[in-house]
Amino acid sequence: MLRNAFKMKLKPGCVEEYKKRHDEIWPELAKAHSDAGIFDYSIFFDEETETLFGFQKLTDENTAGDLPNLEIVRKWWDYNADIMETHPNNMPTFKPLHEVFHMD
């Protein structure tokens, strides 16, 4: 099992809309993530900086790197581009975070 953490930036005043959209996540998008070996996936929000912090666990055989090639993922990016900082193709900008401590 692998642990993956990253941060993304939300546009000001968009946290409620972001939460609403994720509360109503498309079943086919959730399935794509599960099929790619992603599980125990959480996103947290830092109100001071408008920063999202994502954490997920991945199977050793995961195919998470292939998700950007899926149409459903690109549709999700397009759907959320108005509330997040993104690249020109609407992929959210994210910064990987490196683990410095872990305790089971």
* Helix/strand/coil for 73: helix
Q: Integer distance in angstroms from the first to the last C-alpha of the chain?
A: 13
- Whether 87 sits among the annotated catalytic residues: the reply is no
HSE of 89, CA atoms in CB hemisphere, 13 A: 6
HSE of 11, CA atoms in CB hemisphere, 13 A: 11
Catalytic: which of 22, 87, 98, 102? 22
* Helix/strand/coil for 23: helix
Report the catalytic residues.
22
